Structure 1
Amino acid sequence: MPVSRIAVGSHREVYEVGALKAALAEFISTLIFVFAGQGSGMAFSKLSPDGAATPAGLISAAIAHAFALFVAVSVGANISGGHVNPAVTFGAFVGGNITLFRGLLYWVAQLLGSTAACFLLRFSTGGLPTGTFGLTGIGAWEAVVLEIVMTFGLVYTVYATAVDPKKGSLGTIAPIAIGFIVGANILVGGAFSGASMNPAVSFGPALVSWEWGYQWVYWVGPLIGGGLAGVIYELLFISIRVMIDRVSSSSPSLPSP
């Protein structure tokens, strides 16, 4: 069961060289992702009067985020697992695949990476606003549900292609599958909630711009969605499979007639 595997770990983990290297990898991967993803929105806003509010802007944002996440996950996968997202880290934690202390270290690195990316974007564009996530035409709780569903799909994809021990050769396409689901979700939810699916992605622009409207939506929704995906996949498709395999291997074979 996933709950039985949840581990707090030790505070000493945050001083271990391996954990610090993993945190640095998460920082760099998140910086790469947010710089490209948020920067594409800033560039399109500069080139088009209506910016990302147009269909072309939405498609551009989806493509930029899909490509950037594919790269960010790829470069971090062999070091930290390439989470690049507090919701993914939370999903891994509730599924028993990362300790609490290591997960918190990842969170700090991801939030710092996003913030650094937004500061760099503002500096390198002559002070252009980075933009923040907001709601368009829907209420806060509708946005929460939207973020839950989209993040569930994202973290479920992470589990199926990267975490599942039986993933086999499917693991080689994990980064591109993860990028694709984020790009597809942006096409669905981008016009309503901005399609964050990632508390770090919404935190960095909010901090740099100091605009915190509906920021809680982009924490509550993704964390619930990521947590549900982690528990459901781990419980239904990993833990049960392991139990069945154990029962099968311990069952005595019938003698030949």
Structure 2
Amino acid sequence: MPISRIAIGSTAEATHPSALKAALAEFICTLIFVFAGQGSGMAYSKLTGGGEATPAGLISASIAHAFALFVAVSVGANISGGHVNPAVTFGAFIGGNITLLRGLLYWVAQLLGSTVACLLLRFSTGGLPTGSFGLSGVSSVQAFVLEIVMTFGLVYTVYATAVDPKKGSLGTIAPIAIGFIVGANILVGGAFDGASMNPAVSFGPALVSWEWADHWVYWAGPLVGGGLAGLLYECFFISHSHEELPTTDY
């Protein structure tokens, strides 16, 4: 069972040069992802006079996030595993594929990357608002369930294409598969709650704009969904006899 492989880790591991390099990679990858994804929404809003909340705006956001995540995962895969998402890191932890302390190091790096990306966007666009995630026509409980389901699909895809030791050549398409599922989920949930699936993506804009309404949804939903995906995939689809993955992978 994955629960037997869950480990806290040691401070020596969390401060090892390889762990610090991995955290730096997560910071850079998340910055790249959020800068492109959030920035595309700001640019679309400027060009259309606030028309990002339209079908065309939703499609634009979907494509931008899919492309940006594909790149962010690709450039981080060989260093940190290219998590770019606290929910992915949490799912990896629940599956016993990363220690708690290393996971927390990733979390700090991801949140900082998102925050710095939003600060850079605000400065480089002359003070345009970065916006924040919010609910539209749904309750917080409904949005919570939506985030669970969308993030479950994301982390399940991560496990199937990047974590599973039996993935074989399928691993070469992991970044694009992960980008595609995020883009598709934005088309599903973008009109209702912004389709975060990523606490870091929600945290940076919320902090910079200081808008925290229903922010718990964007933490609780992705973490529950990511944890469930990691637990299910490890329990039912990964052999219990396989060795723990190297720290450079999930």
TM over 0.5: yes
Whole-angstrom distance in 2 between the partners of 1:12 and 1:118 = 32
State the aligned residue count. Answer: 242
Determine if contact 1:2/1:239 at 8 Å carries over to the other structure.
no
Question: Deviation of residue 15 (structure 1)?
Answer: 1.4
- 1:52 is aligned with what amino acid? E
Partner of 1:251: none
Give yes or no for contact 1:110–1:200 (8 Å, CA) kept in 2. yes
Per-residue deviation, residues 31-61 of structure 1 (Å, max 9, x unmatched):
0000000000000000113422000000000
Distance in 2 separating the partners of 1:102 and 1:62: 30
RMSD of aligned alpha carbons: 0.9
Letter in 1 for 2:22: A
What does residue 45 of structure 1 align with? 45
Q: Does 1:10 align with 2:15?
A: no
Instruction: Provide the residue aligned with 1:86 in structure 2.
Output: 86
**Partner Cα separation in structure 1 for residue 99 and residue 14 of structure 2:** 11
* Aligned twin of 2:149: 149
> 2:132 maps to what in 1?
132
> What is the CA-CA distance between 1:14 and the residue it aligns to?
2.4
Per the alignment, residue 73 of structure 2 pairs with: 73
Q: How does 1:152-167 map to 2 (within 5 A)?
A: 152-167=152-167
8 Å CA contact retained: 1:144, 1:217? yes
User: What pairs with 1:162-241 in structure 2 (closer than 5 Å)?
Assistant: 162-239=162-239
* TM-superposition CA deviations, 1:39-92 (whole Å, max 9, x none): 000000001134220000000000000000000000000000000000000000
Distance 1:43 1:12 in 2: 44
SS in 1 for 2:52: helix
8 Å Cα contact 1:84/1:110 also seen in 2: yes
2:193 match: secondary structure: coil
- Taking the aligned partners of 1:120 and 1:4, their CA distance within structure 2 comes to 42
Between the aligned partners of 1:118 and 1:239, the Cα distance in structure 2 is 41
What amino acid is aligned across from residue 44 of structure 1 in structure 2? Y
SS for the counterpart of 1:192 is helix
Match for 1:75: what amino acid?
Answer: V
Residue 245 of structure 2 corresponds to none
**Deviation at residue 232 of structure 1 after TM alignment:** 0.1
Letter in 1 for 2:9: G
Secondary structure at 2:97 match in 1 = coil
Q: Percent identity?
A: 83
**Displacement of 1:239 after TM fit?**
3.5
- 1:138 to partner: Cα distance: 0.1
1: CA distance, partners of 2:66 / 2:175: 10
1:11 and 1:216 map into 2 onto residues whose CA distance is 29
Aligned residue type for 1:202: S
- Rg comparison, structure with higher value: 1
Gaps of 5+ in 1: 244-257
Aligned to 1:121: 121
Task: State whether residues 158 and 178 of structure 1, in contact with CA within 8 Å, keep that contact through their aligned partners in structure 2.
Answer: yes
Cα distance between partner residues in 2 of 1:12 and 1:146: 38
2:57 maps to: 57
Provide TM-score, normalisation by structure 2.
Answer: 0.96
Q: Secondary structure at the match of 2:220?
A: helix
- How many angstroms apart in 1 are the aligned matches of 2:117 and 2:213? 20
Q: What does residue range 16-31 of structure 1 map to in structure 2 within 5 Å?
A: 16-31=16-31
Q: Which amino acid aligns with 1:105?
A: L
